[in-house]
A and B are shown apart, each in its own frame.
Chain A
Amino acid sequence: MAQIDIAGLTKRFDSGAAAVDHLDLTVQDGEFLSLLGPSGCGKTTTLRCVAGLERPTSGEIYFDGEPMVSRGVFVQPEKRHMGMVFQSYALWPHMTAFGNIAYPLRRARLDGTEVAARVAEMLDVVGLAEYGGRLPSKLSGGQQQRVALARALVNRPQVVLYDEPLSNLDSLLRSQMRREVRRLHDALGSTSIYVTHDRTEAMALSDRIAVMQAGVIQQIGTPREIYTCPANRFVADFIGFDNLLKAEVVVSERDGALVRLGGDGPLVRCATDRAHPPGSVVELAARAGAFRLAPAAPEPGQSFRAQVRTVTYLGEDLELQVQAGEIALLARIRDVDVRAVTQGTVPVSGDLVNLSIRPEELVEIGA
């Protein structure tokens, strides 16, 4: 339970390139914040600086106003009272579940009664109240992970750091463990920094997400803000907008604009809360799933004609690569919805289709 303040954090390795570049970030007391980005973006280096595994080249880190890293100050990791959860957080094989969770408390020289009480509480919190006496070899993978989490959190660290802890798990176990992680965070009121490259994971877990690239925070916001209002092209692409488009404003409207996609593409309506003069260029983003098949003939601004290039059957959805003028688009439409419009036939390459998209789903990047 601590506020983490990071100011001007820079880390340069021997090669000279800045892995983290003048990063400023405040993680609120009790917040769950994810650092999200591709490999090499600086998220792990940032975490390692907070952990004390790396010495920053410059910058400061404070926990609740106490300097962990500042001019002349470098507090050793074990004195920062943190919990750390890595990918391989294997249990100590010769200790029972109880023993594993108790170990950090015993190291801290808590008395036996208190140790027993705190371990029992943690076992309960992770749903393993009856399993304390089991050795790790007698626990399932998921149970072991929960014991490992409990162990990391049992002495109520003020800050908990996660470094892609779930990336080795199969997807079912991953979803289950994700819920455990958040549940424990809420139950214990920790301040958590979670590093991941998986946007779904970041969105499911976080109060806020900081999207990083090239050592810099590209955008920080709630999952909804990041998902619906990407600040720039990188974020839009990374967070899953399949279509990134330049468009020319034809008419500025309330809450939006009528635009022409590309130079000679279709007219569509987009959402924006900025006023753009006609003729100005805007950058837009749309998810493949935002497009619909429109039944009627195209109506400028409401729907538009496009030619199908490829069709891929995904089971639930049909994925269509289409061309509208010079603009290539990716659409993913529910198979049942497509066939409802086409009276059962599936479009094939070369067919012309009418597409529509709601203005709210065609967002201006950085608006």
Chain B
Amino acid sequence: MKSAATKLGRRRSRWFLAAVAGAVGLLLAACGSGGDTGGGGQQSAVGAPVQELYAAAQAAGEDKVVVYGIKGNACYDRFSQRFPGIAVESQYMVGETQARLEQEHVSGQNVGDVLRTGSTSMLALTRSGILTPFTPADVEGIPQEAWGPGHAFVVDTKRVAGIAYNTAQLSPEEAPKSWTDLADPRLKGKIVMPDPTGPGAGLSILQELLQTGGATDDAWLERYAANEPALIQGVQPAIEALRSGEYAVMMGGLDQMTGPPLAEGSTLKWVFPVAGASPVTGHFIGIITNAPHPNAARLLESWLLSEEGQTCLSQEGNEYPVRDGVPGPPGFPALDELDAVTPPRPVDYTELERQQKYLEQFQTVFGRSR
């Protein structure tokens, strides 16, 4: 039985919510939105401030938030410390994300609350209505081009690709220093990378390199492919193959997944920045439609995009933040100090078409498809 006091409290917070939403709505409109470039056609619901979301999650008995996609990180623990009573359950998913989410969606059997992935399957999922548009209350400093169509998802961190090598196989002098070095025939059969013949980190990095052009043009791609790099699905398995000594060199992004294997004392070393180009790829976060813990889901996304969350992702997760004004990861050069950083582009449906062309090019040049 709800007491009159609670009802009054709720009315007050609804008023407050509406006021906040109105204010944020004005703010977004004033910023000149990049436009709704497609998507589900829904207006993005603006969220309440994190304390309101936390209260709502508690009131609804939401004791966890299930995150599908990339592996867990230290910031999830930080989140649970900050918002006691809400655990983050992280389920690693690579390659099958779209199929899994479609199945949950169609059968009405939703377990996942939040999706975090670097894959542009976010766009396909948006189109099918599987991601629900959401704009956290506090998004000042999140650039316009970070948002997916209709705010169905948003970049929460950025990764810059580099090269890792196994010191047991190559000395620092022998290690490649540039992308052109990867096309050197002496590295034939010694390279591994996340498989670019399907959605994922490998596709994104190669695409960025080719779009940068210059030394990394189509001719470079042919020479690189002639080195017969091993194509493995998933960054984590690729790093393992490098660590095991099966390969000498890996192309990939340094983040909280690849960081630990490259720690002090490891046989793996990281070449970063790499001369010639700095492929920057975004990692996305989105709220899954019909999430079983909808308030906790929005709370997590809101917090990860807040200054506090972004600082955690940067300082403890070694990821470049998306929010302006938040310092980059410790010991990493600032993005604007790097060579030929890919200019940010909006993540919209034209990106899918662009990526499709590259996908087909890679399937042809590597002679296979996933």
Contacts and interface: CB of A to CB of B under 8 A. Distances in A.
A53 B100 CA distance: 13
A107 B109 contact: yes
A88 B91 CA distance: 15
Interface stretch (A89-97, A218-226, A323-331, A344-352): A89-97
Interface residues of A, number: 30
A84 B292 contact: no
B105 interface: yes
Contacts of A85: 103
Nearest to B100: A88
A86 B102 contact: yes
B337 interface: no
A2 B129 CA distance: 25
A342 interface: no
Contacts of B108: 77-78, 81, 104, 107
Given A14-B353, A54-B128, A107-B292, A90 B107 contact: no
Contacts, number: 60
A92 B106 contact: no
Contact of B107 (A76, A87, A104, A163): A104
Interface string A137-167: 0000000000000011000010001010000
A81 B353 CA distance: 33
Contacts of A89: 100, 103
Contacts of A107: 108-110, 292
B173 interface: no
A51 interface: yes
Instruction: Specify the main secondary structure of chain B where it touches its partner.
Output: mixed
Given A54-B128, A93-B91, A107-B292, A84 B107 contact: yes
Given A88-B100, A90-B100, A83 B107 contact: yes
A151 B105 CA distance: 14
A301 interface: no
B341 interface: no
Contacts of A123: none
B107 A82 contact: yes
Contacts of A82: 106-107
Contact of B106 (A51, A87, A93, A103): A51
Interface string A95-106: 000000001100
B77 interface: no
9 contacts: A52-B128, A54-B128, A77-B106, A77-B108, A78-B105, A78-B106, A83-B107, A92-B111, A104-B107
Given A78-B290, A88-B96, A152-B107, 10 more contacts: A14-B349, A14-B353, A52-B128, A54-B128, A76-B129, A77-B105, A82-B107, A86-B103, A92-B111, A103-B111
In the A-B complex, the 3 residue pairs with the closest CB atoms: A88-B96, A78-B108, A84-B106
